[in-house]
Structures are given as C-alpha cells and as structure tokens.
C-alpha cells in the first residue's frame, strides 16, 4: 500500500518536473519515396509543436492496406493518422470511420487542392482525407526511338497511334520492346491499368443495375487490343510485370513506351537512376475518340480514424504535411523536383516547379482529365476511375486480374477469360446483394 503511494507520488512528481507530457501520435504510411522524405523532415513539425511526438509505421502498400483496414474495422485504435488511397476514402467515410477534415486551419487553403483529387477524397461535399501526393497515368516514351521509327508523338495520342508506334519501335534483336504495360494479376496492378484503358474503349464494370459487363463487346475490344499489342510489342514475362518491373525495364532502355503512373516520370528522368533520363517525352494517355482517356486517378492521402483519442494533434500533423508550407520546405531542402506532386494547383503555377519538372504540365492535364465521379462513357452506379469503390472490389478485381493475366500469358483465350470474369463477377455481386 505504502509502496504503491510512493510510486504514484513519484510519477506525479516527475510529471510536474517535466511539464506537460508530450502527446505521441502514431502514423501509418506507405514506404514510397515521398513519405520517407516526410519522415526525415519532421523536425520542422516537432519544432513548431514541441508537445507532439511522432511515431512512424512505414509499410509496403499491400501490408499497409491490410493493417489499417483490419485496425479501423475492428476499432483496434493502433493509429492516429492513416495513409490511405482514393479507393478507401469513400468506403470508409460512408461507415463514419473517418473524421471530416473541414477545419485544417486558416492558412490551409483547401480551395487550392486540385478539384479532381478533392472530389475523389470527399463524400457529400465533405473532405475526409487530405491528399499527400496525387497521380494520374500518362504515356512516357523514348524520343530517340520515336525519331528512329519516323514518327512524332502527338500531345494527345489515340490508341491506334500508340499501337502502330509500338510495333514500329520494337526491335527484338537489340532487346527493345515497343511498349511495356502492366500484366501482373492484381486489382492494383493489371486491373488498374486495364480498367482505365477500358474506360476509353467505352467499357464499364457494371451497368446502372450493377450487372457486370464483361460479356459486352467493349470489354472484348479492350482485352483483344491489349493482348495483340503485348504479343507484338511487349516484353517477355509481361504477365508478371507490375509497376516496378516495368520501371526497371524502362530505366534500362528496354521499352519504347510505358503507360503508367505520372510519378514514374520523376524516376525515369532522374539521371542517377535512369540510363535514358535525357531521352524521355510525355504525352496524355491515349483515347479512342469516345470522350474518355485511359488515365487513372490516385491520391495517397492522410486520414484520421474516428476512434482516435488524439484528434487535435493528428489534425495538426495532417495540416502540416499537406500544406503549401510543406511543399516549400521540401523544395528548400531537396529541390523542387522532389516536391510531392499532384495535390495543389498553386504548385503547378509555380515557375520554379515548372522549370524543375518538365512533366509538370502533362501531369496536371492528366489529373484534370480524370473524373472519378463520371469515369466511363456510359453511366455507372459507382465512383472510381481504375477501381470501383465498393468493398468487394479488391477480391473481385484480383480474380479478374488473374484471368486476364492468363489470357496475356497465352494460357486461355480472350473469350474464355471474359466469360470466366463475367461468371465470377455475377457470383460475387449476387452474394454481396447488389444483384437482386
């Protein structure tokens, strides 16, 4: 009893001695370069907020998504700030799992956030996550190989042009593939690319009554076009290539063109990593004249789980990390080229940034041309460009991705793959109660 009292007394004494105890918030984030940089710059934040300590959990994308989803859905309460994407935000916000971020401070200037991105992170007009960096997808191509093929890349190419150019640039003898595209099965891998591509072919995942649409000719055109193109001009092993595999191929000079995330531009144009840094050109993702381009929209964003005890500290951190001042901080420490892209209009109006990032304008145009609320030519009941923002999509998308990668690997025909995808989608959607 007495010991107990003494210990208690000591504790309170030390609390007084050290003043107000620092509050510690735990931040879960993905291990991409921009977030890693943020971790190293937190001295700026802690200097301004000496009463807040930051604990980092940095994980690769798939594991991060599992971790934060399990935790928020079971109210595990392990994190105070979570890094999530445009896929999660509408689903979680609907469950009231996230705190709305309507008050991030007077200097925050939420109106400066690129409208397409803000739209993807809002529900009923309320922002539920603050974008840390945003990306769309576009065409990266080798200017030298394009010249050699006797072609000029237009700013806004069609799929027809891309296919023609890819075939002409292909030179198997010197190990140059006309085009590198994602082929690895997965909802965030080949399905992200193919769904965005299908949008420009007039295809959609579901009609207004949630009926899967893989039995429609638009999907057949998309898949057939993709597979023929990859057969003629794609790299070997395409069916297991994701973002990083294609990045490695492109940096080694083995791809003529690569359609992928706009953030890849800063990797392929970085002379320390890339052998082709000075030869890369950029163009908008291709279209088919139907009014939609094959580019997606994604933003890694910071959100605050509704269950946190430290909402105020978390809010301060989110406001700091996604502010204009943070962009300037990165620029002053690491140069404008390393600033997290794709979140604020003002960044793209900054001449210094335009100077440092030759792909800036094309990135902004790509982001602006993607519309998550109206992603397709025909109407759809869902939100999301390269995904469908429903809980069932990750599992279903991966199944469909497996089927499409089999078609790419030549193990099944296009018709078989689509029929199997249709069956899987009907099955899953019936179970989840979308199809009555």
Partner 1 sequence: MATRQTRTLARFMMVPSVILLLVWMVVPLAMTLWFSFQNYNLLNPANVSFGGLFNYRFFYTDPAFFQSIWNTLVIVLGVLLITVIGGIALALLLDQPIFGQGIVRILVISPFFVMPPVAALVWKNMLMHPGYGVFADIARFVGLRPIDWFAQYPLFSIILIVAWQWLPFATLILLTSLQSLDGEQKEAAEMDGAGALSRFIHLTLPHMARAITVVILIQTIFLLGIYAEILVTTNGGPGYASTNLPFLIYRTALLGYDVGGASAGGIIAVVLANIVALFLMRAVGRNLDK
Partner 2 sequence: MARTVPTGTKLGWTIAAWVVALLIFFPILYTIVTSFKSETEAIAGFNLVPSGTLESYREVQSQYNYFKPFMNSVIIAVGSTILALLVAIPAAWSMAFSPTRRTRDILMWMLSTKMMPAVAVLVPMYLIFRDWGLLDSRIGLTVMLMLINLPIVVWMLYTYFREIPGEILEAARMDGATLWGEIVYVLTPMAVPGIASTLLLNIILAWNEAFWTIRLTTTNAAPLTAFIVSFSSPQGLFWAKLSAASTLAIAPILVLGWFSQKQLVRGLTFGAVK
Under the rule (CB under 8 A), what is the footprint of partner 1?
A: 62, 66, 69-70, 73-74, 91, 95, 184-187, 189, 235-240, 244-245, 248-249, 252, 254, 391-392, 394-396, 398-399, 401-403, 405-412, 420, 423-424, 427, 431-432
Q: Which stretch binds partner 2 (CB under 8 A): 1-9, 92-100, 151-159, 247-255?
A: 247-255
Residue span binding partner 2 (CB under 8 A) among the ranges 73-81, 110-118, 216-224, 315-323:
73-81
Residue 267 partner contact from partner 1, partner 2, none using kind-dependent CB cut-offs of 5 to 8 Å: partner 2
User: Would you state the structure tokens that stand for residue 303, as one six-digit string?
Assistant: 């959100």
* Residue 260 · residue 268 · CB < 8 Å: no
Residue of the chain from 8, 13, 15, 33 that contacts partner 2 (CB under 8 A)? 33
β-pair partners for 261: 137
Q: How far from the centroid of its chain's Cα atoms is residue 187's Cα?
A: 12
The region of 27-35, 104-112, 124-132, 380-388 touching partner 2 under the rule CB under 8 A is 27-35
**C-alpha span between 315 and 82 (Å, rounded):** 12
Per rule CB under 8 A, is residue 434 in the interface with partner 2?
no
Partnered with residue 136 across adjacent β-strands are 297
Instruction: By CB under 8 A, tell whether 84 contacts partner 2.
Output: no
Q: Residue 94 corresponds to which tokens in the numbers above?
A: 């609907």
Cβ closer to partner 2: 66 or 102?
A: 66
CB–CB of 128/121 below 8 Å?
yes
The residue among 53 and 224 lying less far from partner 1, judged by its C-beta, is 224
- C-alpha torsion angle, residues 25, 28, 30, 32 (rounded to 10): 10
Name which of 274 and 288 has its Cβ closer to partner 2: 274
Least distance (Å) from partner 2 to the CB of residue 391? 14
Kindly tell me which of 9 and 410 has the beta carbon lying closer to partner 1: 410
Determine if 267 is a binding residue for partner 2 (CB under 8 A).
yes
Cα angle: 311, vertex 316, 319; to 5 degrees:
120
Determine, following the binding rule CB under 8 A, whether residue 248 of this chain makes contact with partner 2.
yes
309 binds partner 2, rule: CB under 8 A: no
For residues 114 and 321, the answer to whether their CB atoms sit within 8 Å is no
Distance CA(426)–CA(159), nearest Å, equals: 30
Q: Interface with partner 2 includes 39 (CB under 8 A)?
A: yes
Q: Which is nearer to partner 1, 267 or 359 (CB)?
A: 267
Per CB under 8 A, 76 contacts partner 2: yes
Which one of partner 2, partner 1, none is in contact with 395 (Cβ closer than 5 to 8 A by kind)?
Answer: partner 1
Q: How many CA atoms are closer than 13 Å to the CA of 19, on its beta-carbon side? A: 4
Q: Which residue has the tokens 């107000």?
A: 20
Token duo for residue 422: 């249709």
Q: What whole-number distance in Å separates Cα of residue 256 and Cα of residue 146?
A: 8
Binding flag, residue 46, partner 2 (CB under 8 A): no
- The region, left, alpha or beta by phi > 0 then psi within -120 to 50, assigned to residue 88 is alpha
Place of tokens 């999907």: 219
Which residues ranging from 340 to 379 are in contact with partner 2 (CB under 8 A)?
A: none
The whole-angstrom separation of Cα 69 and Cα 84 is 9
CA–CA gap between residue 225 and residue 210 (Å, rounded):
25
When the beta carbons of 248 and 426 are compared against partner 2, the nearer one is 248
Residues that bind partner 2 (CB under 8 A): 26, 28, 30-33, 36, 39-40, 55-63, 66-67, 70-71, 74-79, 243-244, 247-248, 251-252, 261, 263-264, 267, 272-275
């Amino acid at each position: 009893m007495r010991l107990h009292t003494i210990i208690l007394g000591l504790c309170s004494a030390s609390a007084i001695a050290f003043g107000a105890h620092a509050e510690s918030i735990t931040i879960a984030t993905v291990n991409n370069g921009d977030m890693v940089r943020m971790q190293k710059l937190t001295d700026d934040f802690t200097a301004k907020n000496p009463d807040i300590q930051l604990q980092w959990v940095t994980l690769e994308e798939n594991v991060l998504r599992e971790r934060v989803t399990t935790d928020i859905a079971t109210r595990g309460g392990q994190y105070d700030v979570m890094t999530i994407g445009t896929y999660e935000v509408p689903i979680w916000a609907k469950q009231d799992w996230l705190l709305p971020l309507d008050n991030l401070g007077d200097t925050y200037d939420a109106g400066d956030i690129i409208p397409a991105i803000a739209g993807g992170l809002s529900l009923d007009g309320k922002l539920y996550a603050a974008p840390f960096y945003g990306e769309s997808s576009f065409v990266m191509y080798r200017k030298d190989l394009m010249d050699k093929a006797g072609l000029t890349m237009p700013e806004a190419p069609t799929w027809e042009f891309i296919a023609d150019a890819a075939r002409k640039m292909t030179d198997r003898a010197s190990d140059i593939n006309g085009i590198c595209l994602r082929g690895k099965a997965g909802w965030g891998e080949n399905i992200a690319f193919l769904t965005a591509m299908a949008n420009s072919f007039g295809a959609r995942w579901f009609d207004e009554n949630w009926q899967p649409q893989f039995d429609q000719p638009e999907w057949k055109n998309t898949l057939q076009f993709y597979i023929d193109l990859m057969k003629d001009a794609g790299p070997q092993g395409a069916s297991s290539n994701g973002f990083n595999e294609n990045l490695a191929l492109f940096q080694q000079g083995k791809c003529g063109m690569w359609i992928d995330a706009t953030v890849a531009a800063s990797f392929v144009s970085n002379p320390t990593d890339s052998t082709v840094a000075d030869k890369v050109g950029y163009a908008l993702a291709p279209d088919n004249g139907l009014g939609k381009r094959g580019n997606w929209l994604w933003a890694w964003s910071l959100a605050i789980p509704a269950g946190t005890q430290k909402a105020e500290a978390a809010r301060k951190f989110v406001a700091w990390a996604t502010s204009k001042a943070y962009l300037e901080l990165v620029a002053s420490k690491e140069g404008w080229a390393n600033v997290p892209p794709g979140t604020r209009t003002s960044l793209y109006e900054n001449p210094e940034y335009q100077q440092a990032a030759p792909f800036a304008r094309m990135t902004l145009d790509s982001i602006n041309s993607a519309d998550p609320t109206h992603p397709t030519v025909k109407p759809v009941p869902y939100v999301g460009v390269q995904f469908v923002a429903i809980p069932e999509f990750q599992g279903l998308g991966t199944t469909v991705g497996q089927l499409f990668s089999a078609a790419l690997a030549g193990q099944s025909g296009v018709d078989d793959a689509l029929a199997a995808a249709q069956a899987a989608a009907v099955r899953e959607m019936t179970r989840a109660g979308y199809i009555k």
